[in-house]
Every structure is written in C-alpha cells, then in structure tokens.
Structure 1
Amino acid sequence: MPFLLRRHTGAALIAGVLAGSTAGAGTLAIDASAPTPAPLAAALRLGSAVAPNGDTLGANARYLTRNGKPWLPVMGEFHYSRTPASQWEAELRKMKAAGIDIVASYVIWTHHEEIAGKFDWSGDRDLRRFVQLAAKAGLDVVVRVGPWAHAEVRFGGVPDWVVNAMPTRSNDPQYMALVEKLYAQIGAQIKGQLWKDGGRVIGVQLENEYNIDGPGKGVAHISALKKLALKAGMDVPYYTVTGWDGTIYPSGEVTPVFGGYPDEPWGVSTQELPPKETYAFRFDTRVSGDLGAQTAAHAPGTAETDKDVTPFLGAEYGAGLPAMYRRRTVVSADDIAAMLPVQLGSGVNLMGYYMFHGGRNPLGLGGTSLEESTLSGGYNDTTMISYDFQAPLGPDGQQRKVLEKLRPFHLFLHDFGARLAPMTVRKPDLTPATPADLKTARFAVRSEGDRGFLFFSNHVRQYPMAAQKATQFKVKLPGQSLTLPSKPVDIADGAYFIWPLNLDLDGTNLAYATAQPLTLLDQGKDGVVAVFAAAAGIPVEFAFGAAGIPAASTGSVGSASIAAPGAQVSEADGRTLVAGVQPGANAALTVRREGKRPLTIVVLTPEQSQQLSVQQLAGQRRLVLSAQQTYVGDGALQLRSTGSGKFRFAVYPALKAQPKASSDSAAWSAKATGSAPSANVALRAAGNDGIFQVFEAELPARELKATLTQTRAAQAAPPVMIGGLAKAAIQPIPEAFKAAGAWRIDVPREQLRGLEDALLQIDFVGDIGRLYSGTRLLDDWYYSGYQWQFGLRRNAALLDQPLTVSVLPLRADAPVYLPKEARPDFGRDQQLAAVRGVSVIPVYQLRVVTPTRP
C-alpha cells in the first residue's frame, strides 16, 4: 500500500470543518438527462484474452468486459507468503463466499530469493499451488510481480543484496538482469495457469507507486518491465500499474488502478485528521487524495492525462488499515463500508481492496525481520510479524464485522454490476465545497438512459454528519423525472446506501425502491426472487412504473397483480406505490403477470442483510442466512463459530426435508430440492423463518483455560526518539526492550483436540507487545485498543512449553497517535506495561453435507 510523505497541520484544518447536527436538505436535485455517450475503445494493448473454451476478457475506456458483456468484479488482496500454505484453500473459499471475484497477491522478491541465486518456491512460498487453489475456489488471479512491491516489507521487497550493490527501480543493466531472472522464475511458476491456457491468471501488475522520472526511469522503465514480463511468458489480458501521486507509465501499455484509505497510519500527526476525501464523491479526478508514494512527483502523471481513455479501476481501497508505530489508527466496519457507495458512485468499475485477508511476515535467515522500519531506512515503522491490517478476514481466518458490512455490496455487484458498469457519473446540483463540509448532502447518480442507481453516504470517519431532514431526491432522466421517496424522510448521520432507478426485474420495471438491491435468484419456471436490504430508519417503499404494474390495487388488476401483505398499495403519478413494507425474511410482495413468471421481492432487515451470503449448494445457487461465518469447501457448507458451539442457519430454496425431521417440518416449502442434509453432529430441522428453511446444531461446549504468571517486572523505558525520514516518533531500538515486562502463558495442549482452532486473546496495555515460544518470535502488536488474537491450532506443538508475552512500557509522553477511546489513564504513572488478562477462545466448525442426489 502507499504511504504519504506530507505533513498535516491537523488543528488548523480541523478548525475549518463545518459542523452541525442537522441540515434542512429538502429536495436534493440531480440532472441525469444528458445522453450517455458510447464508451470509447480503450487504446490498450492487452495480452492474449481468449481462453481455450472461447471465453474472452476485454476492456474499453469505461469498463471491463467478460465474454463481450460489461463486467464489474470485486478484487481482494491476500498474500500467500504471509499465510501458512495449509490454510490457503479454506481462506480462498472464504474470500469467494465473501463476494470476492479476483484474488490479488504480491510476489515479494525477498521472500523468494533472500540469498542471491537461491530461489525458494516451496511450502508457504509456493506461488503455483496458490494460483491453482484460487482457480479451484472459482477465483481469478492478478499477480503483482514488482519487483518493488512496498507491502510494508524491508526495501519494498527488493532483497538486501540487491539494494546494497546497485541502483534499483530503473533500467540499470545489472538490476534489470536480476529482474529478468526473477520474472523468469515467476513465469515458470504460473506457466499453464494463464487465461490463454484455460487458467485463471488474468492480470499482472508491474512495479508499484512509481512516479520516478529521468534517464532509464519513468516510461522507459515500465516499458522495459512489461517486455521482460512478456519474455518470461506472462502473457495475460490485463497489465496494470498503480495510478496515484503522479504515476508515470507508457500510455496504452498498462492500465492505472487507484485506491483510497479512511485514515493515514503513515502520517505524522498525533491528532485526529481532518475529514478524508475518501468519503467525498469525485466528479473530476480519480485520485482520492492523501494516498502517496514514497517518492515525490514533480508533475501531473500519466493517469491524469489518460482519464478519458482508460476505465476507472480500483486496487487499493482500504478494507482495513495497518498500525504504524507513530500512528495507530483503528477503523470501524462503517468507516470502511461507507466508502463503497462513494467509490462506486464516483465511477469505480473494479472494486479492489488492500488488504482483504491479513497475515504474518515470515522471518528471514537466522530469524532476521523483513518488515519496513526506520532502522533499514524505511519511512515507516511496522510490526515485525503481524500484518493483521484489521482486514475483513484476520490472519487466522477469523471473520470481522467489516466483512459483514461489505458483503451486501459485493452481492449487489455480482448480480447488478453488469448493469452499473456502462453507466456514467452524474453530478448533483449542489455538492460539498470541501471534504470538511459536513452539512451538504453527499450523493451521486450513475445512469444510462432512464436507468440508473443513486448512491448516498452520510458517514465520515470520526466526524458527525448533519442529519438530512425531510429529504427527497429529484432525478431528471432523459425520458422522465423521478422523485423519491413519495414522502420526505430523515436520513441520519452514518447512513449510506444504493437505491435503484428504473430497475428491470425480469420484465417488471421497478421505478425506484428505498432499499438496496442485493441479489437475484432465478428459479426457472417458478420465477425470480429479488432480495433487497432495508436502510435503518428509512421506510421501505417500492414504486413500479407503467412498464411493470399498470394500476394500483391488491388482487387482480388487468394483466397483473400485487400481493403485499401488511403493506399499502396505491396509485400515484402513473405508478403503483407499495409503501409500509416491513423488512424481514418473508416475501414482502409478489408480482404476478399474465404470461410471465412471478416476481417475489424479499426485503431483509439491515442485520439480516449482513448475515446473507449466496452459496452453490445441492446443485444450485441458494440464499444462506447465518450469524456464523459460512463458505463452501470440501463438498460441504462449512460454518465457523467463534466462542459458541451453537449454530443456526437458514436456506432458500429449501433443501429436501430430512426423513426424521421435527414436527414443524410440514411447514417447509413444498418445492424443497436436493437431498436431506447431514452434518458432523446432529442437525435439527427448526421449521421456517419466512421463506427460509432453518437448521440448528450444537457442538459440545469447550471451556479452554490459560494461566498467566508475571516473570519479569517492567523497567523504565527510554524516551521515544524522533527521527527517520518522517522526522517523527520512531520505534525503540532493539536494546530498549530490556525494559519490557514479561508474563508466562500456560495453555495445556490437549485442550485444543477436536477444535477447528483456538484463539489466544491477549489484553495488554503498553507500547509494544511480543509473543514468544522460547526465543522464537510468534507475533507482535502495537497497542491501540484493537484486539490482539493469535491462532493456536497450527502452533499446537509450541504449547508443550510455556509461551511468553513481553510488553515494552508505553510512556505518558510518547509522541504517538492513539485513538482517544484507547488512550490509557496514566494517573500519576509515567509509563504503563501490563497484561490485564489472557483467554483462549474456542473456534467450532460445523460441516453440512448437501448431496445433489436424493
């Protein structure tokens, strides 16, 4: 990811924020009546883009294509060399279940060639196996080949022996000869796995954050890297470079990708930052500011001049944030998810995240650390082992709340992205003057003809937004104007959503809905089920246009009818309005049309929408509702629960009833399909929840114990030093850790038998915590108030001896940023170092087999 070199005068900028608890929004107008121009043919020299089966990939100046149709995929970063190979398959399947279409991964050079000429592609470094498992999970792959990656790795991933001997990141002959060998190795690893071979490798990213110009640099260097990639056999449809901060590349040879983060852990401020432009819709630029390279640009880059001839693709929208030593930002799930309507509403046509899966850094030879640090000349200090990143999937595969908030948007893009991709961005009549304007409504429309989507966000990290009172949207389209909702509504601080405009639902025209589309389930002759998500506090209504329902009444009306139990159906302005829809698992309304399949609409509550996934079960796509983590692997529906052995999941369409089902099974849908499911424990049929068939199971509860004993008292920590390239707080030198306190942790190994995993949770306060087995460093953590967990399953053998956690004291005068919620009360103490407690949380796994044959 990128890191910024500029400073903030935080207080002065924050003083300019326009605060306020309410704003009288009234009618929010937007003119989307201008014709949508046909997309220009992108002047991109793609690689081989036809698979052996005839499938094709492509791109124009607006969007990507798959088999000639618009394609708007979701991409998530997952670094194979930071995760044990034994976990890859399950973790890739979890990403697929989360709605990820493409997995991206850096090839970190120093992880493979720490000693000159000795490449290691084995074990946790087996790129070929990782790519194969991704394909098996149904994921496409983008390989980020560097050679300079950054990725918070020492020297950006370039091996020490290279950095010490020659110039890098240019066409220096000695350097390029080594890059050619690296690329040849990567090419050999992915040979036969490329799109043209029938594999799933569809893209290659060259270099990273590159804005260096001069002889043998800039355009010449990226051109040379692409030639070497092709020489190594990396012939793929897409070649990309990062596009921010004045990036320089050969126009037409590569496509720029963009990103944005909700805060700046790479910054130097010890205070809250001003409102970030990541939360502001962009109508004139693709660069979401405060996203910088480690090198300085001196002029506008190629991405700016290429804006009209390349699609707007994302690769590094933060799905979390790392902790840096001097700035330890903690983000909420809403801080991340609220960015999506803004990015998509600004025109993004590839939603790419960094990181989607956290990891841990491997140690180098002799146990040396390979992280970015000021000791090795880096701009930032990062933890030696942990690369948690607050990612949606943690280093041990644990599902975080942010994943639940993101997945509804991924479902939307999967089923509606092809409609969104060709649409162009429309700017409202009134927009915020600056990102610090917290009163003016933030919204946009993307449309093509009379069809479109409305994007709204009223969330800015760490700042209250004005509630938009008595609000309606008025959208002028080429053939009509829409005013929605029918009555003004209040939109609270923190709200964000996507609403449809003239959405075609299997031949029925939905003029608008005040609920977000999630997914479409085609049931063949039985019709289509459309699932929507309600927005908290906003009444749900659906308006059908003349092309759909021609009149208003429950029951038979002409050639169509609406059944909407508990809702009010009326006619206004030539449209049929269904108001007062109550969200839940029931069918909210059903539209029956003469000669057409029925259309069923389900509107889930906000909580239910966060539990929804769409899985391939018993031979067809099904809706799955569960508070547990769910994914499909090893021919079964896998459910993972942290802390509780109780499982509950609901499925639609229903699976075949079990022969010995409970008495309420008679209420199950008569259209149940597939065979009776079974599990690794008794699976109980628990009747219905609306249209969903419900199952429950319970694994025996396990109480895991850990004992904590202090073995060494903390000593006085030295003052935090100021220095480094950022001229800010730098991580204490290794000798400073003689001041750390130490605690022994005893976890009996036999407790873990039969569990999917067990998470050691360490509650500490201090500066830096480090977890050891003997003298082997297992994990480390900067104190920030964010919960530290460590998976014990793959480290069970280490439990035959006690673990040790050491804590370097946090000084009261440390010039580091901590979230205000986590800032400890020092009282009269000048420093703090304490382990307040440890616990071991069991992770249970339910495996549900759903055969496709009775």
Structure 2
Amino acid sequence: MSKIEYGFTPKYMTKNGKPWFPMMGEFHYSRYPKEYWKESLYKMKAGGIETVSAYAFWIHHEEVEGEYDFSGVRDLRAFTELVKETGLTMFLRIGPWCHGEVRNGGLPDWLLKKSFEIRSNNEEYFAEVKRYYKKLAEEVEGLLYKDNGPIIGIQIENEYGHCGGLQGEAGEEHMRCLTGLAKEAGFLVPYYTATGWGGAVTGGLLPVMGGYCEAPWDQRLTEIEPSGNYVFTEERNDHNIGSDYGFGAGITFDIHKFPFLTAELGGGLQVTRHRRPVAHPKDIGAMSMVKLGCGVNLLGYYMYHGGTNPKGKRTTLQESRETGYPNDLPVYSYDFAAPIREYGQMSETLKEIKLLAMFLRDFGSSFCEMEPFIPESNPLYQNNLKDLRTSVRRKDNSGYLFVNNYQRRYTMAEHLSEVLKVELDSEVITFPARDIKNGDFFFLPFYMPVGDGMLKSAMATPLCVLHNGEKDTYVFYTDTAPDYQWVKKPDKAEILTITREEALNAWKVEGDREYLLITCGNVIETDTGHAILSRSTHQVKAYPRLSAPPAGYRYTGEEKGFSVYEKLSDRPSGRVEYTLIREAAGIKVYEFTIQYPSDIEDCFLRIDFGGDSAKLYVKGEWEDDWFYTGQTWEIGLKRYGFPEKLQVEIQALKEKAECYLEIWPEFKDGIACDIYQASVEAEYKDCLNARI
C-alpha cells in the first residue's frame, strides 16, 4: 500500500495532491478510561471524525520530577495504536504549555519551582522541554507519519503570546526553537500547527483558529454580548478566546498564505464555578455551518469527547484560582457538554455536527475549492438581529448558498416569504419564496453536479451519496418542498429526499454495499461489523433493504422507499431509589440503590438537583463531581462496575451567589440543596449483520 501524501495550499489541505476537508475532534486519552478508548474512537468515527487531536499534558506524565508515567489512562502509545487500528489519523498537541483547563496549563509543579522563567527563551527551560519532547517521541516511536503511523500533525505550544509567553520577534523565535526541538526529538510529520488567535505568534507554522458559542472563562457574572461566531465574516479571530487573560490583538500571520483551519471550534462549553452557560446542540450546529460559509476548510472541535481528570499523585489536576489561574473548574468532571459526553454518551450535538461531516465526507474535495463571497449588505455585527445573514461559497458557477437566522440566546427577526438569490457572473439564481423563522440555519446548492446530471438549484440540502452499482443515490434533506430544478436530469443517479429530523438520525454504513440507516439510536463500527447503541430505539429504517434484520428486530414493511425494522420486544431501564442519609450545614448526602436489567451495555444514573455542586462517591471513594447548571447530571455506571449502591453529596447554593447561571434552582430560605428526582436509563447494544 503506497504512502498517503499530505500537504496544504494557501486555500486548503491536500491528500495525495487533491483538496481535502478533514473533520477533527479533540479527545484526551488521559481523561478517559483506557478500557473504553477503542469504543470511543469508533463513536467519534461514527460522528464523522477522521482525525483525532489530543493533548499530551506534561503534568499527567511527569507529575513528580524524573518519574514518568505512561501507564493506565496515561498510556499514550496504546492510545495511538488504537487510533491506527480504528482507521483514524492523529494530531498530537505536545505543548509544553497546553492549557486545557489543567493545573498550571499542563506544566508540572516542580517545573514552576525552578529558578528560570517558564515559557521564555531561557536555555535551561528549553533543556527541560527537550527532555520531555524526547520522552514523548520515544513513546510513539514507529507511530509517526514517517513510519506510516497515524500521527500526521504536531501542535507546538498553545495560545503563545496571547495567554502568556513572549510576543513579537522574541515570541516567534520561541516557537521556532520549540519546533526545532520537536523535530530533533523525532516528531517528523507533514503538518506542524500553532494556535493563531488573539495575537498569538505562530513561528511560521500552519495557524489554526477557534471559536466558541459563549465564554465560561469570561470574568463577568452577567449575560454577555451575542457571540460573533454566528455572523458571516472574513475575520478569522475569535476575540473572546482567552479573554480571561485580557483581550488580545488580531492575528500575526498573513492570512493569504495559509488556509482557514480550525482546531478549537467549541464542541460544547466547560463551565467554571463563576460562569455556567449551557451549550445546546443547535448552538454548535449553527456556529459550525456559519464557519463553512466564512471559508473554513477544516472543522476541528475542542472538545469532541468529554472526560474526567485523572487523580494526581500529590495534588488534584484541575485549573483553579488557588494555582494563580483565572477560573475554578470541577476537580474531576471535564464533560464539556461535548458531542460525546464524559461517560461516552453520544449526544444530540454529535448529530448536528454529523450533518456537516456526512456532507463534507462526500463533497468536501470540491467544496474546499469554493471561495466565500459575503454580500456587502450582510450584517457586520452580531447585535444586528433584524437583517438576514447569508454567504455564498462557489467555484465558477457551482456552489452553495448559506443562510443563518440563529443567534444563541437571542431572538432573530422572521423573514416571511423570503426570496433568496445568488448573483453569478452571468445570471441570478432565484430560489422559491420560503419562510425563514427565528433559529433557522441551512445551506442550499446551485449548479451542483449530480452523477451525470446537473442540478441548477434545490430547496434541499445535500447529505451524502450512496455508491451502489450502476446508479448512485444522492441523499438530500429538507422540511419544505425540495423543488429540484435541473439543467440536465441524471441517467446514472437518483435522488432520495428525507426530512432534517431523519437526517439527524441518519448513518451511512458500508458493508456488502453502502446503506443509509435511520434510527434514534447510534450506529457505530465494531471489530466485527456494526452495532446500534440505544436506550429506547424501537425502529430502524434502511435504504436499500438489509440482507438480514438487525439482531432483535424484524422486518415489517416499506415506508417511502425505506425498509422498516421493528424491535421484537421492549426492554427495561432498571430501577433506582435514593434516601437522605446525612445532613450538615450546606450539605446533604444521599444514598442510591440501583437495580440493573440483564444484558446491558451501560446504565446511566440521571440526577436533577438544586445546589452549587455535587460529588459522586463509589465504595467510599470520591470519583466525580458536577457544577449545577440546571441540566441533568448523567453518570455512566459501567465505569464503576455497575455498583448496587453509591452516594451523592449535594453542596448548597446561596440565592445571591456570585455566579452566572442561565437556569437558577429553587430556593428555600435562600438556599438550594436538594435532589429533585433521579432515574436510570439502560443502554443496549444490538449487532448488525457483519456484512449487513
């Protein structure tokens, strides 16, 4: 098998010389149990991720000076081997300073006690980094691109010159020195990246950008201004990232020399003690789509997979004000409201991102070459909630019209019977009138090749292509009449139209042929085929018909071109009871007793409570915690061996607490400290035929 060649142009990344639009997601191996890494990588792959990014936190690997730890959750080599085994590639982010809401930004305490200044151009500091880089490189020897391994990219430092570090030429020199040390250690890869927002210096490396739907690190305790990440703009910089360190300047590199890539597009938000905004699925879906309309050619998410901080040898390992950082984080939980949550739950956010990932997997190569065109009449600022926001990406006359009428936590004006138009060099494409409601966001094709045909326009969005035999099936989704307008109808392709809800629940699966499955469950690869993970799925629809029903399902007929399979029987979720066993000033402790059904994949304890925070104890050990947000706290019990009993401690929240919350709890005598309700939901795993 020949080696894949990777590169980039000023516009996009390349794979074997062709335009390449990757989907990348951050997963911190040291924040997740080793025994579940593989299934989580398969889950990421099911969500459309093809490249995994991961920090190697120095403090996780050398908390005690000279005592390296690459065991258990810290086993970087084993994780990288699984990345390769599951067919993914990897960007390793080697710091030395990473941030990631880790203690000291990932630097060990002992390093901070040295006589030299950290993150400076001090030779003693560089000597320590050189030693650490060398050890990391030894751990992944044979797994780098140069040896046909999965690691194709290395990120150097993080937010250097923006959140600490040197600026100007001294900062550029620092980044060049670190890059040299990385290469000297053996990190030889096609891509070397550096974060480029907020005035960070890049040392000539490939700059990657970011953007979040809110800012839990913002030190204000009030509703903040609308996010600029819902406006189509040529501006690559998100001024809010790292604003807890002070607002940075613009960007330090020439945007005409590098493609617009993201590595830190927020897949959710990690709340802090003082600020707890909740990221909802459409917050992330709309922001992601807008970035495509702005010209992004890599969607990289931080985080894509949540996790739990490991236990330290000498201290806890979370960011805290006690260590001189701006924010207090949970000691253990790093859920992030990510597409895949702290306990491996595949969330609705994953499905929003998957809509774009499926499109980009099949159409991304041509999409990369399409330039963004943002109308001069477009709103410039996010506080304009009245005017419609649009953008066009096209190459010659072929492209997509992007429309966004979504602004997180704000109501946008409705545009009834709106006639959308795209002005080309020689004509104007006019779409049929449609209502655009508050919260709508979508994109539509024009002059799109469909097999051997040409689609002039449609009121439907392309999702994917099923390649089967002589005729390919192009799948589109819409909640309006699709109104396909053809220059030439295809002879060797057909159209399948589904709703947006069906598209959210759609999974493209390759077996003996390519299938589209629609199910509320989650379809993932396994070592032997595919499986459906679900809590309450009763129906699976397939196009074309499966060679055999999924395990535990039966074929019941046809529906709008899909074969329908129904679950043979209902399955129980289990039972839970809880009792208040101890109460003290500002604290209540509850004991939970849980009964599990048989043959389950996992079981999730769901707790709704009012309070400042909660702690989980299993067999007397403090295992996890959670800051109150108004959302349900969900705990995966497989990780703890399905315990029959566990304890939860609720810590009180005062009515006038200095904290920003979007949903406040119920207060009694100025205090909230209660569990409102609890339940358990079992997750089951149903195997699909290995060949489907």
8 Å contact kept, 2:607–2:679: yes
Report SS of the residue matched to 2:484: strand
Counterpart-to-counterpart distance in 2, 1:616 and 1:503:
25
8 Å contact kept, 2:610–2:666: no
Match of 1:530 in 2: 474
Q: 1:633 aligns with which of 526, 529, 532?
A: 526
Match of 2:100 in 1: 151
Match of 1:513 in 2: 458
- Aligned residues with identical type, % of pairs: 36
Query: 1:840 and 2:677 equivalent?
Result: no
Query: 1:127 and 2:127 equivalent?
Result: no
Question: Deviation of residue 437 (structure 1)?
Answer: 0.3
Query: 1:650 and 2:541 equivalent?
Result: yes
Match of 1:503, as an amino acid?
Answer: M
Match of 2:581, as an amino acid?
Answer: T
The one-character-per-residue Cα deviations of 1:241-284 (angstroms, maximum 9, x if unpaired) are 11100011222xx111011111111112322222110111112x
Question: Deviation of residue 128 (structure 1)?
Answer: 1.4
Map 1:261-300 onto structure 2 (within 5 A).
Answer: 261-283=212-234, 285-292=235-242, 295-296=245-246, 300=250
Structure with larger RCO (C-alpha < 8 A, sep 6+): 1
Match of 1:686 in 2: 556
Question: Deviation of residue 617 (structure 1)?
Answer: 1.9
Question: Deviation of residue 351 (structure 1)?
Answer: 0.5
- Report the CA distance shift for 1:177/1:449 in structure 2 as closer, same or farther (over 3 A): same
Residues matched between the structures, number = 688
Match of 2:345 in 1: 398
Question: Deviation of residue 636 (structure 1)?
Answer: 2.3
Match of 1:707 in 2: 577
Q: 1:450 aligns with which of 397, 407, 420?
A: 397
Match of 2:122 in 1: 172
Q: 2:61 aligns with which of 91, 103, 112?
A: 112
5+ residue gaps, structure 1: 1-51, 550-590, 657-675, 716-738
Match of 2:158 in 1: 208
Counterpart-to-counterpart distance in 2, 1:683 and 1:705:
25
Query: 1:823 and 2:664 equivalent?
Result: yes
Match of 1:740 in 2: 587
8 Å contact kept, 1:172–1:216: no
Greater mean alpha carbon deviation, residues 172-181 or residues 503-512: 172-181
8 Å contact kept, 1:714–1:833: no
8 Å contact kept, 1:616–1:632: no
8 Å contact kept, 1:121–1:127: yes
Question: Deviation of residue 762 (structure 1)?
Answer: 1.8
8 Å contact kept, 1:170–1:216: no
Question: Deviation of residue 752 (structure 1)?
Answer: 5.8
Counterpart-to-counterpart distance in 1, 2:615 and 2:439:
36
8 Å contact kept, 2:219–2:244: no
Q: 1:807 aligns with which of 628, 650, 655?
A: 650
Report SS of the residue matched to 1:500: strand
Question: Deviation of residue 678 (structure 1)?
Answer: 6.0
Counterpart-to-counterpart distance in 2, 1:345 and 1:678:
39
Question: Deviation of residue 114 (structure 1)?
Answer: 0.8
Match of 2:555, as an amino acid?
Answer: A
Report SS of the residue matched to 1:655: coil
Question: Deviation of residue 357 (structure 1)?
Answer: 0.8
8 Å contact kept, 2:174–2:203: no
Counterpart-to-counterpart distance in 2, 1:127 and 1:469:
54
Counterpart-to-counterpart distance in 1, 2:524 and 2:249:
47
Query: 1:623 and 2:516 equivalent?
Result: yes
| Length-normalised TM-score, structure 1 | 0.78
The one-character-per-residue Cα deviations of 1:162-200 (angstroms, maximum 9, x if unpaired) are 112242112322222221121112212222222232222
8 Å contact kept, 2:167–2:201: no
8 Å contact kept, 2:7–2:190: yes
Match of 1:196 in 2: 146
Match of 2:264 in 1: 316
8 Å contact kept, 1:108–1:146: yes
Counterpart-to-counterpart distance in 1, 2:155 and 2:497:
40
Q: 1:426 aligns with which of 363, 369, 373?
A: 373
Report SS of the residue matched to 1:712: strand
Query: 1:541 and 2:487 equivalent?
Result: no
- Report the CA distance shift for 1:57/1:114 in structure 2 as closer, same or farther (over 3 A): same
Q: 1:794 aligns with which of 639, 652, 671?
A: 639
Q: 1:498 aligns with which of 443, 451, 456?
A: 443
Map 1:656-805 onto structure 2 (within 5 A).
Answer: 656=547, 676=548, 679=551, 682-698=552-568, 701-715=571-585, 739-747=586-594, 751=596, 753-796=598-641, 799=643, 802-805=645-648
- Report the CA distance shift for 1:404/1:703 in structure 2 as closer, same or farther (over 3 A): closer
Counterpart-to-counterpart distance in 2, 1:845 and 1:781:
28
Question: Deviation of residue 141 (structure 1)?
Answer: 0.6
8 Å contact kept, 1:260–1:316: yes
8 Å contact kept, 1:714–1:808: no
Match of 1:850 in 2: 690
Report SS of the residue matched to 2:410: coil
The one-character-per-residue Cα deviations of 1:599-657 (angstroms, maximum 9, x if unpaired) are 21111111101111112223x33211111011111212211112x3x54222223232x
Counterpart-to-counterpart distance in 2, 1:452 and 1:309:
23
Question: Deviation of residue 708 (structure 1)?
Answer: 1.4
Q: 1:609 aligns with which of 481, 496, 503?
A: 503
Match of 1:847, as an amino acid?
Answer: C
Match of 1:436 in 2: 383
Counterpart-to-counterpart distance in 2, 1:703 and 1:236:
47
Question: Deviation of residue 491 (structure 1)?
Answer: 0.8
Q: 2:136 aligns with which of 170, 183, 186?
A: 186
Query: 1:460 and 2:413 equivalent?
Result: no
Report SS of the residue matched to 2:407: coil
- Report the CA distance shift for 1:202/1:514 in structure 2 as closer, same or farther (over 3 A): same
Report SS of the residue matched to 1:759: strand
8 Å contact kept, 1:677–1:850: no
8 Å contact kept, 2:221–2:659: yes
Question: Deviation of residue 341 (structure 1)?
Answer: 2.1
Counterpart-to-counterpart distance in 2, 1:259 and 1:433:
19
Counterpart-to-counterpart distance in 2, 1:214 and 1:501:
45
Report SS of the residue matched to 1:349: coil
Counterpart-to-counterpart distance in 2, 1:433 and 1:519:
32
Question: Deviation of residue 91 (structure 1)?
Answer: 0.7
Query: 1:475 and 2:415 equivalent?
Result: no
Query: 1:99 and 2:43 equivalent?
Result: no
Question: Deviation of residue 753 (structure 1)?
Answer: 4.8
The one-character-per-residue Cα deviations of 1:429-482 (angstroms, maximum 9, x if unpaired) are 411142100011101001111111111110001111011122122222234321
Counterpart-to-counterpart distance in 2, 1:217 and 1:712:
57
Counterpart-to-counterpart distance in 1, 2:404 and 2:65:
51
Q: Greater Rg, structure 1 or structure 2?
A: 1
Counterpart-to-counterpart distance in 1, 2:167 and 2:411:
46
Report SS of the residue matched to 1:790: strand
5+ residue gaps, structure 2: none
Query: 1:307 and 2:147 equivalent?
Result: no
